[in-house]
Amino acid sequence: MTDPSGRVRIRSVVAALAVAVLAGGGAVAVGKVPALAAETTLRAAAAKAGLFFGVAASPGRLSSIVNQEFGQLTPENDMKPDSIATSSGGLRNTGNADTLVNYAQTNNMLVRGHTLVWHSQAGQLQGTSQATLNTFIGNAITRWGSRIAYWDVVNEALDDNNNGRRRTQWPHSLSRDANGDGDYVDAGDTDVIRDSFRRAKEVVQQNGLTTKLCINDYDVEGLTVSGGARNNKAQALYDIVRAYTQGTERLIDCVGFQAHFNDNPNSIISDDLQANIQRFADLGVEVHITELDIDDDLSNNDIGQGQANNYRKVVRACLNVARCTGITVWGIADSESWRSSERGLLFTGGSGNYQKKAAYSAVLDELNKGRSGVNPSSPPVSPSASASVSPSVSVSPSTPTDPSGCSASVSLNSWTGGFVATVRVTAGSSAINGWRITAGLPAGAAVTNHWNAERSGTSGTVQFANVGYNGRIAAGQFTEFGFQSSGAGAGTTLTCTAT
Ligand code: G3I
């Protein structure tokens, strides 16, 4: 469990039960364990489910509801460079940020630092060099140390309009694609994302910190955008995270989906949200919903059940993926939100006097249902089905032709017209050094995207082979890769060959 308060709370529940049974007072029949009551705060319900539920706030908003309802705090504006950075990368005016960190520490809440490298609200750092950015990164991380559980190292690196490109303005103008091949990882390339994470990782390691380092963006939530086209912004983020987690350097620990859902066609709550969370999780990073608010327009100006159901969907998608370890709402009440007219949060009222909306009750209820059998300590093989997200179908494992070779199984996360397949490749009684999967796709299915494997073919018989980092599998162990396809996946066949 990530939330320290959650650990304490669960221990105290267990202790209370033990005392009741030992006392034998008649209230609890021996041998019959009473069902644990539903939790009554978002914080406690989330902690019990194994994730944090947090809020963005400023020092003026620290009323009692904050530590009652939320187990994590993100400074909404007070840790941004325009608030705390000097032009040479030093720190200034850290009082508000200190207040927030101290409040969180006193109340046993996690803190997300927001944010180190961003094109907006850059203040005195605007236009500066990578060297000065690195100085600022070092100063900010060391000031609060492990009291910051997660830092948004790079925020909003990707361009709008679903073009799959990075932004071009500063600080991304510091990056250079020397051979023009569209990536920033070749000899001769420079990459402000990589170099900022490198500096952050170096500071974390040199100081023995537990702080995890995240990349954060918006409109990256679904695999698809409105109308069903590929979400190229999500794909670009995925490519960056893959490049900096699966190679020789493991620079990125966590990914934030901001989740400011509005009526922009690229900002939809799609049925493939869970599948997208899952494919990032499959890279071994934690995934967080970092700035959640849901425009009431998304349910025809319904701030009642329509908005509540949308909240439910998002919470369920996170709960169904073991490495989705936290959800943060971007403010407490509609009236105090950065987009108050859209009434996108969980409370009405203001100035410390808040009333719960239907969306609050839906989130609490969904959190209380827990993770539906997902094992929090390891990624799920098959995402659990739920009424509000895509159904998942398991396909029978293939039979290995050689018991010392390998076998493969697939789990499908499907929606109307498409699916994501997560394929597990398991070594037999001996270690293998490489593998090839021959997949027979049903008629009408065509692969549009894949990860953690090489691929040849699109439909019918499609070949997948290991990439450099996941070819070797110890005896009895497994690795996973995935692909997205149009059509339906039921009936997919797999054959595994050790190479
Ligand atoms: O504090 C001053 C106040 O003194 C002044 O009178 C007033 C006049 O406009 O401005 C106040 O500052 C505003 C500040 O919020 C505090 O309310 C700024 O103008 C305003 O630009 C700033 O907006 C913030 C916005 O980031 C800036 O980009 C929002 O509060 C904040 O919620 C928002 O957060 C971002 C995340 O960091 C990244 N993701 C998107 C998200 C929403 O835009």
pLDDT tens by residue, 198-247: 999 999 999 999 999 999 999 999 999 998 999 999 999 999 999 999 88
pLDDT at position 384 is 26
Q: Is the pLDDT of residue 36 over 60?
A: yes
Partner residues linked to 427 by β-bridges: 406
- pLDDT at res. 37: 85
Query: Which of the listed residues 61, 74, 76 should we mutate to test ligand 1's pocket, taking the one with most ligand atoms within 8 A of CB?
Result: 76
Residue 3 pLDDT > 50, yes or no?
A: no
Read off the pLDDT of residues 150-178 as tens digits, 9 standing for 90 and up: 999 999 999 999 999 999 999 999 999 99
- CB of 76 sitting under 6 A from ligand 1: yes
Does position 379 have pLDDT exceeding 60, yes or no? no
Interhelix angle 273-281/232-246, nearest 10 degrees? 20
Q: How confident is the model at residue 376 (pLDDT cuts 50, 70, 90)?
A: very low
Matching residue, tokens 């809440």: 109
Q: Please give the full DSSP string across 211-280, using - where no structure is assigned.
A: -EEEEEESS-SSSB-TTS-B-HHHHHHHHHHHHHHHSS-----EEEE--EE-SSTTS---TTHHHHHHHH
Query: Which of residues 498 and 422 earns the better pLDDT score?
Result: 498
Between residues 4 and 299, the one the model is more confident about: 299
Band of pLDDT at residue 111, cut at 50, 70 and 90 = very high
Q: Residue 197 is inside which H or E element, if any?
A: helix 192-206
Select the more confidently predicted residue: 486 or 17: 486
Report, as an integer, the average pLDDT of 25-51: 71
Confirm or reject: Cβ of 77 under 6 Å from ligand 1. yes
The stretch 293-305 carries a mean pLDDT of 84
Question: What is the value of pTM for the model shown?
Answer: 0.75
Is 50 exceeded by the pLDDT of residue 18?
no
Query: What pLDDT is stored for residue 245 in this prediction?
Result: 95
Residue of the CA atom closest to atom 36 of ligand 1: 76
Q: Which of 5-14, 175-184, 263-272 has the lowest mean pLDDT?
A: 5-14
Ligand 1 atom 17 nearest Cα: 338
Q: Which of 26-35, 258-267, 472-481 is least confident?
A: 26-35
Greatest Cα pair distance in the chain: 77
pLDDT band at 415 (very low <50, low <70, confident <90, very high): low
Tell me the CA–centroid distance for residue 76 and ligand 1, in Å.
8
Atom of ligand 1 nearest to the CA of 218: 39
The whole-chain average pLDDT of the chain stands at 86
Return the closest-CA partner of residue 217 out of 183, 269, 267, 179: 267
Average pLDDT over every residue of 18-40? 46
Q: Which tokens belong to 336?
A: 């105090």
Per-residue pLDDT reduced to its tens digit, 85-104: 999 999 999 999 999 999 99
If you count DSSP H runs as helices and E runs as strands, how many of each does the chain have, helices first?
11, 20
Looking at the chain, the whole-number percentage of residues with pLDDT higher than 90 is 68
Burial environment of residue 423 by CB neighbours within 10 A (0 to 12, 13 to 18, 19 or more): buried
* Segment among 221-225, 278-282, 356-360, 419-423 with least mean pLDDT: 419-423
| Cβ of 142 less than 6 Å from ligand 1 | no
Nearest protein Cα to ligand 1, atom 13: 77
Q: Is the pLDDT of residue 134 over 80?
A: yes
If you average pLDDT over residues 180-205, what whole number do you get? 94
Q: How much is the CA Rg of the chain, to the nearest whole Å?
A: 23
Q: Tokens 């925020």 belong to which residue?
A: 155
For range 111-134, the mean pLDDT: 98
Task: State the closest ligand 1 atom to the C-alpha of 258, by its place in the atom list counted from 1.
Answer: 39
Least confident range from 194-208, 428-442, 469-483: namely 469-483
Mean pLDDT of 133-146: 98
Give the ligand 1 atom nearest the CA of 114.
Answer: 37
Q: Does residue 366 carry a catalytic annotation?
A: no
- What percentage of the chain has pLDDT greater than the value 70? 85
Task: Give pLDDT, residue 32.
Answer: 45
Q: What is the pLDDT of residue 417?
A: 75
